[in-house]
Amino acid sequence: MNRQTLCRIAIGLGVTNYLVYAASTVIAGGDVLHGHVAQGHFFAASGNGFVEVSRTMFEFCRWHAYSLLVTFPLVLWGGFHLSPEPHEPDAFALSQGD
């Protein structure tokens, strides 16, 4: 595999992971990282307060949010290495006054 393929895979994984995170946050009704647990009930923070969610949804969203700490840097790495390399102007172009 060449570098461009690896970069595209890294970007694809990171973007897909973020989209799954965004969809799960919408399905849960709020952000569990800013939510809380009280007396065995799990709450996701929403714009109007808190929404109760299942323990399974709470744990899935929480760990999925932590996975973004790995995949987001992959997107940055892939994008950085896919960007075009700066090049020096040709000596001929400089002699022509361009």
State the residue range of the domain holding 58: 3-95
How many structural domains does the chain have? 1
Per-residue pLDDT at 91: 58
Angle, vertex CA 55, rays to CA 68 and CA 18, nearest 5: 20
Please give the pLDDT value at position 83: 73
* Residues in the chain with pLDDT values less than 70: 85-98
Element (H, E) at 45: strand 41-46
- At residue 61, the pLDDT reads 92
Distance of alpha carbon 21 from alpha carbon 93, whole angstroms = 49
The residue type of 25 is T
- Tell me the per-residue pLDDT of 33-57, one tens digit each, with 9 for 90 and over: 899 999 999 999 998 899 999 999 9
